[in-house]
Amino acid sequence: MSTSMRETDSLSMGALAVIVIGPDQDRRRALATAIADSQVNLIKELPAYPNFDDLNRILAADYDVMIIDLDPDPERALEVVENTCARTSLLTLMIFSSQSDPELLVRCMRAGAREFLRVPVSPASMGEALVRAAVRRDEVRRQKKATGKLFVFAGAKGGSGVTTIASNFSLSLARESGQKAALVDLNLHLGDAALALNLTPKFSIMDAFDNWQRLDADLLNVLFTKHSSGLSVLAAPDSVVSFQPARQTVQKLLRIARDNFDFVVVDGGSGSAFTYEALFEMADTVYLVTQIGVPELRNANRFVTRFFSDPENRKLEVVLNRVPSRNLEIDEPSITKALTRPARWKIPNDFANARRAQNTGVPIADQRSPISRVIAQMAQAASGRDPDPRKKKRFGLFG
């Protein structure tokens, strides 16, 4: 961030921290003067629209209010607003402008701006806007304390069983925790998490992406399909789509979901590195699902090396799926070496029950089986409960 940013001390330590952004120095200073008459803790000026790295530093600095000059470059200013709103709900975004075009005002509001300040901005109108920002800040901070946990399931290779595990994990999580849980199917091409739970959704995640600029908690709640367990499911589309959501779009959707659910589970499928980066940045836990085979373990190693190179990273938990009870062709030390860490979860191979669940529409989590027991233990651990060792059934090499 530019060293030419100006910092001013405040009259009140409990007041707002504000950053003013705009290439025109005279307009910035005039606005800073109007702000200075209010109770603010910190004012900084940025003489250029921030790039990606600058925006990262701004968000890390914990400002309460960002005020952006629209007039020098409206498209660039709106892009900053959209990118900021997609990545955080903590900042209050304001626009100041000498223009009075109603269509432009609507675009600002849709991008996420909460205040439109007409130049010249009077201290009175500035003060009223900051009061509203302070009220919102306190409410957002209160809600932030209750932000739900995000669990992401990803596959080292297609066909690893990500959807089966993610959907049944979600179902178990809703039941084991007794709290609000949601499943988001981000496998846009061939996602079938809803099918695994015997649901027929009216809407899909594409409805959220198509309306991402006006996406909020009310709209998102309409798009979810409710399971009898209480689990809410945002399904993948019925048809194959050639759509790649923008990073900020995915993160905005998940941020809203986390604000409204105690637990949010994402079926990431075998997604792209671009999508994974957006998911992993937000996730509390990432479950990498792989099977025991040379191609699967090779891909798992590439996945871990790319995204979780630090072996001490506690965010990643490896899930070995379809583990045979005997005659393991690749021994445990070789598996651990390939994964660069021990697998946390080992789900036994139970083809008969898995296929029965697919064909009957009765989820594995609703059955008594070796698979359902391990998935229930995963859900218990994720919800903060210690898995009941009395329910653990030993199988094969991994016990």
Tens-digit pLDDT profile for residues 145-203: 557 999 999 998 888 899 999 999 999 999 989 999 999 999 988 899 999 999 999 99
Domains belonging to the chain, first-starting first, are 7-144 (3.40.50.2300), 149-398 (3.40.50.300)
Residue 300 structure tokens: 């798992």
Pair 233, 194: CB distance under 8 Å:
yes
pLDDT digits (tens, 9 = 90+) for 70-113: 999 999 999 999 888 877 777 899 999 999 888 888 899 888 89
Looking at every residue in the chain, the average pLDDT score rounds to 86
> Which range (7-16, 111-120, 218-227) has the least confidence?
7-16
SS3 at position 316: strand
Segment 315-361, tens digit of pLDDT: 999 999 999 987 778 989 999 999 999 999 999 998 888 888 888 88
pLDDT at residue 313 in the model: 79
pLDDT tens by residue, 174-185 = 998 999 999 999
| Cβ contact 304:313 at 8 Å | no
- For residues 7 and 390, the model is more confident at 390
> Is it the case that residue 387 has pLDDT exceeding 70?
no
272/48: higher pLDDT: 48
The answer to whether 95 and 108 have CB atoms below 8 angstroms apart is yes
Q: How many CB atoms lie within 10 A of CB 386?
A: 8
Q: 278-308: per-residue pLDDT in tens?
A: 899 889 999 999 999 999 999 999 999 999 9
CA-angle at 127, arms to 66 and 69, nearest 5°: 35
Residue type for position 63:
Y
Q: What's the rounded Cα separation, in Å, for the pair 181 and 179?
A: 6
**pLDDT value of residue 248:** 81
- What is the percent of the chain where pLDDT is above 90? 54
pLDDT at 146: 54
User: Residue 5 above 50 pLDDT?
Assistant: no
Highest mean pLDDT among 61-65, 304-308, 376-380: 376-380
Query: What residues does 245 pair with on adjacent strands?
Result: none
pLDDT tier at 394 (50, 70, 90 boundaries)?
A: very low
Q: Within 13 A of 220's CA, how many CA atoms are on the CB side?
A: 24
- Helix 273-282 and helix 247-260, axial crossing angle in degrees, nearest 10: 30
Q: What confidence category does residue 365 fall into, taking pLDDT thresholds of 50, 70 and 90?
A: very high
Integer Cα distance of 234 and 250 in angstroms: 13
pLDDT for 391 equals 46
pLDDT of residue 1: 38
